[in-house]
Each structure stands twice: as structure tokens, then as C-alpha cells.
Amino acid sequence: MTTPRPLAGSARLFLAAALIAAPALHAQESNEPKTAVSGEPKTARTRTLEAGAKLLQGKAPLRGFDIYLVGFHPMKDQPQAQMEAHHYCHQVNQDFAQCVLFDGNTAKANMHGVEYIISEKLFATLPDEERRYWHPHNGEILSGQLVAPGIPQAAEKSLMKTKMNSYGKTWHFWNTGMAGQPGDKLPLGDPMLAWSFSRDGEILPGLVGKRDKALGTDTGKKRRERAGLQTLAKPQSGVDDLKGKFDRPTKEIPGVVDSKPATAPR
């Protein structure tokens, strides 16, 4: 019997990349949307047109949206308004990714937003006026809140490592169901700028547990597994933007620090 040779360095890197980029085929497709959209059922004519388009038309812009992430967003102007977001992302290059956001992971899910993700290198090129739209990601990663269901733990940690110190610009166009609030039947009103959680206690009780139960994930375990990523964390812009805006006690997450100098006590 021949003993398998260990993979060469380049082969290991290729395998890791494939694990990260592959769709999360084994992630539980159990998060059904809570909002029923207004409108009549599709007619037979519409279904026939869809079937023809599927066979004859290309979908080139959708190729590459193969990274699946699930996290939570508070709205920057209304931090108590919080929603779960299923991200389907395309890593355009090493410094830029674009994601389509849904309120679930089944065929019935509603698209309710978009997010662009940039590296700290690209963030450093932005003017100050633009930076106020971009939220930091270290709190989401180190807390274990941001997950990539369906891929091996080592591949997920490697993916999260590449997102350390990155930033996201997220707009939600549709309230399909905030925590404790019913969703709208249609996309109504102005787009909502979303932010990130940078302290323990900011996210509403029960949101994380409900997500973990639905997807079979364990946020506490992921937090422990990612503890070593703290050494990579740099101070980030926007960490303190929601500080003091919650009606409950909050606590700092180790490694998550605002880049602005702390105000000296009076």
C-alpha cells in the first residue's frame, strides 16, 4: 500500500482557497424570511419566460458570489433597530469584495441590502468625509458573531483572518423584519446605513442564539477559536461611534479599539 505524500505548500494553499471559495453546500438552509411580499402569485406565462431565460441567457455578473457569511447589523442612526444579514459575496481582488444581503438562506429569501468590503489599505485612501459611512469589522470577527457556515473551522478562521482590520459600507433598502419589529411588505422609505457591533451587550438578547440554533453554529466556541487573531487587530475608525447609545450595559471586546485618541477625563 502506497503511503500518500503530504501536499506541497502550493497545493495546501490551493486547497485552502478552494474550501473558502466553495459555496456552503452543507450549511443548513433553514432561515426562512419572515416577511411575505405584497403581490399576486406568478402566472404560468411568467414561469415559462423564466425557464426560457435560464436556458438562453447568461448570468456572468453573478459568477463569483460564492462566499457565504452571516452576521448582524444595527442601523447607525437607530442602533436599537437590528437585523440578521445573510451575505453572498464576491471577492473581486484581495482588497475589495461586494456582497448581496438577504434575510434568509432559502430560495424564498428577500434581498434587503448590499455591502462593500475593503481592506485597511483602501480605507486609508478615503477622505475623512467618506469614512463615516464605513464600519469596522474587528468586533464582529473577534466576538464570533460573523460566521461562514458550512466550511471547515480551519478554512473559516483563515477567511476571518483575511478580513481583520477591514471595513464595510452597508445599505439596507428594506426592513424585512427588525428584531422585535414586523417587516414591511415592500421596500419603503430611505435607505438605512448599517453599522457594526464593537462591544459585548450591544446586540439585542436572543438574536445570536436564534441564529446559532437555526444554522447549527456556536458563537461562543468561534470566539474562543479566534482569540489568537487579537494580535492582528489594529485600532479602527468607527469603533466608538455607537458607544453609549444603548439602554443596557456594554463591555469592551479585547482587541477592539477605536483609532481616535481616548478623551481625557475632566
For the chain, 266 residues long, the average pLDDT of each consecutive 10-residue run is 42 44 50 74 76 78 94 97 97 98 95 98 98 98 97 96 98 91 93 98 95 96 97 98 94 96 51
Strand ranges (E), the chain:
67-75, 78-93, 96-102, 111-118, 135-136, 167-172, 192-194, 199-200, 251-252
> And the C-alpha cell for 222?
468561534
CA-CA distance, 239 to 137, in Å (whole number)? 9
Distances (CA, A) of 198 to 26, 65, 235, 251: 30, 27, 12, 9
Q: By residue range, what is the domain housing residue 117?
A: 60-252
Residue 260 lies in a domain: no
64 domain-assigned: yes
Residue 190 lies in a domain: yes
Number of domains in the chain: 1
Query: Is residue 227 within 8 Å of 186, Cβ to Cβ?
Result: no
User: How many Cα atoms are found within 13 Å in the side-chain-facing hemisphere of 156?
Assistant: 24
Tell me the pTM.
0.85
* Domain assignment present for 19: no
| Predicted local distance difference test score (pLDDT) of residue 110 | 96
Q: Which amino acid is at 71?
A: G
Residue 32 domain-assigned? Answer: no
